[in-house]
């Protein structure tokens, strides 16, 4: 089995989010350091070209800004069997990596050099070099892997397996399994606490969040939270987590010390992924909806009061979401129109709409800009398991 490299812990910066936004109020309602800040930009929505290496026939549109956010945005295209790399500064698609069958989720490692993905159909964990597009290695997961994360220190990789309600733990350097533990029914999204002591897992079928002790690889607690939690976000202190309740169109706040739900807020459509700004001042909810009734908003929530302060209109079916560490820019995958929306959080406006692959789901950000060696390619992933399930709606 090919081996991956160990990656080091990344630093975090405080985020800045301008409070004044010219937006209508919503009704009823772990990334690297960035060295350049985005200034206010009210440029029209730009549509960037699709395809690898900027080779599309259409002229790419750039994100105009005096000091653009730099880095690379990685997208998992579940029905496209591919990963897309987007230049964060320009909105251009710079590479497409084909050959990962049914990738539901993607995660950049702490040093930005390794991209981790899961193949839901091959039941595989996949490691790709972010600088060269080369396959670093693969490993078998449980059936129907859903999400993948890396511990804050880069030593361990965690994968939820919806097919047998388990969590797989891997040594990141050796790409070898370390442990497998049972979870509540329907494990899906997960995030670590900042100190890496716990991993918080959303279990869609059980309606509960599991708190996993990473030292012992055991479930320390299971907290009932509501209808179909799909993903979680954890604050910088590791005190509170937030879970999207896809079944009731709500976001729930969880006290990780008291191990109980302490409040909810309604959002316009069934939400999927959540993401906190690095300073913890704003929580973004991707309000996906359903294929028959797709949502088109990202809700901006005050985590302290659980009030929806504003909403941003996106493409159809906003699913995955990530925010770079300064809190200036967010990216959202739009499941039902195969695009990614780049949102300037200082103005509350979408500043770029980027065509990607079929059914984009997971998204992750690296502060490292695309390298010259990053190119479109096709890789081969072994078939470890028989046909995993479709996670597209979550």
Sign of the four-CA dihedral 171, 394, 278, 109: positive
CA-closest candidate to residue 243, choices 202, 207, 206: 202
**Is the Cβ–Cβ distance between 299 and 267 less than 8 Å?**
yes
CA-closest candidate to residue 202, choices 240, 223, 229: 229
Distance in angstroms (rounded) separating the CA atoms of residues 162 and 392: 13
Distance in angstroms (rounded) separating the CA atoms of residues 173 and 360: 28
**Is the Cβ–Cβ distance between 227 and 186 less than 8 Å?**
no
CA-closest candidate to residue 207, choices 223, 189, 191, 227: 227
pLDDT at 348: 96
358: tokens are 């079929």
Distance in angstroms (rounded) separating the CA atoms of residues 37 and 45: 20
pLDDT at 200: 99
Distance in angstroms (rounded) separating the CA atoms of residues 110 and 156: 11
Domain boundaries, the chain: 46-377
**Is the Cβ–Cβ distance between 357 and 338 less than 8 Å?**
yes
Sign of the four-CA dihedral 217, 223, 229, 234: negative
What is the β-pairing status of strands 283-289 and 294-302?
A: antiparallel
Distance in angstroms (rounded) separating the CA atoms of residues 252 and 301: 11
* pTM, 2 dp: 0.84
202: tokens are 């959303």
Which pLDDT tens digits describe the chain residue by residue (394 residues)?
333 333 333 333 333 333 333 333 233 333 432 222 222 223 332 333 333 333 333 333 445 444 579 999 999 999 999 999 999 999 999 999 999 999 999 999 999 999 999 999 999 999 999 999 999 999 999 999 999 999 999 999 999 999 999 999 999 999 999 999 999 999 999 999 999 999 999 999 999 999 999 999 999 999 999 999 999 999 999 999 999 999 999 999 999 999 999 999 999 999 999 999 999 999 999 999 999 999 999 999 999 999 999 999 999 999 999 999 999 999 999 999 999 999 999 999 999 999 999 999 999 999 999 999 999 999 999 999 865 555 556 6
Sheet containing 250-255, strands listed edge to edge, beginning at the edge strand earlier in sequence: 229-234, 240-245, 250-255, 260-266
Distance in angstroms (rounded) separating the CA atoms of residues 302 and 296: 20
**Annotation: CATH topology of 46-377:** Methylamine Dehydrogenase; Chain H (2.130.10)
pLDDT at 385: 81
Distance in angstroms (rounded) separating the CA atoms of residues 271 and 1: 38
């Amino acid at each position: 089995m090919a081996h991956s490299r160990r990656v080091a812990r990344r630093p975090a910066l405080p985020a800045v989010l301008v409070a004044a936004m010219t937006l209508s109020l919503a009704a009823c309602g772990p990334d690297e350091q960035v060295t350049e800040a985005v200034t206010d930009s009210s440029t029209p929505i730009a549509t960037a070209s699709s395809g690898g290496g900027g080779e599309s026939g259409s002229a790419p549109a750039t994100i105009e800004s005096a000091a653009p956010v730099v880095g690379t945005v990685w997208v998992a295209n579940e029905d496209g069997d591919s990963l897309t790399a987007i230049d964060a500064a320009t909105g251009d698609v710079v590479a497409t990596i084909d050959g990962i069958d049914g990738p539901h989720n993607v995660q950049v490692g702490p040093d930005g050099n390794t991209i981790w993905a899961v193949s839901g159909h091959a039941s595989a964990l996949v490691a790709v070099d972010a600088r060269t597009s080369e396959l670093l290695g693969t490993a078998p997961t449980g059936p129907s892997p859903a999400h993948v994360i890396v511990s804050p220190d880069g030593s361990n990789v965690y994968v939820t397996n919806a097919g047998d309600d388990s969590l797989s733990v891997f040594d990141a350097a050796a790409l070898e399994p370390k442990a497998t533990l049972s979870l509540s029914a329907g494990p899906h999204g997960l995030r670590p606490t900042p100190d890496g002591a716990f991993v918080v897992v959303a279990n869609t079928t059980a309606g509960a969040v599991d708190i996993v002790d990473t030292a012992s690889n055991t479930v320390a607690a299971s907290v009932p939270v509501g209808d179909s939690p799909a993903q979680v976000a954890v604050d910088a202190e590791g005190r509170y987590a937030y879970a999207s309740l896809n079944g009731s169109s709500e976001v729930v706040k969880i006290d990780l010390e008291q191990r109980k739900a302490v409040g909810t807020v309604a959002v316009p459509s069934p939400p999927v992924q959540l993401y906190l700004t690095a300073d913890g001042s704003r929580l973004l909810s991707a309000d996906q909806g359903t294929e028959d009734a797709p949502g088109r908003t990202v809700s901006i929530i005050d985590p302290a009061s659980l009030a929806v302060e504003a909403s941003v209109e996106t493409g159809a079916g906003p699913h995955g979401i990530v925010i770079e560490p300064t809190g200036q820019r967010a990216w959202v995958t739009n499941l039902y129109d195969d695009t990614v929306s780049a949102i300037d959080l200082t103005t509350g406006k979408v500043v770029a709409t980027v065509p990607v692959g079929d059914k984009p789901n997971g998204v992750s950000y690296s502060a490292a800009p695309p390298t010259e060696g990053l190119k479109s390619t096709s890789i081969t992933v072994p078939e470890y398991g028989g046909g995993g399930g479709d996670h597209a709606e979550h």
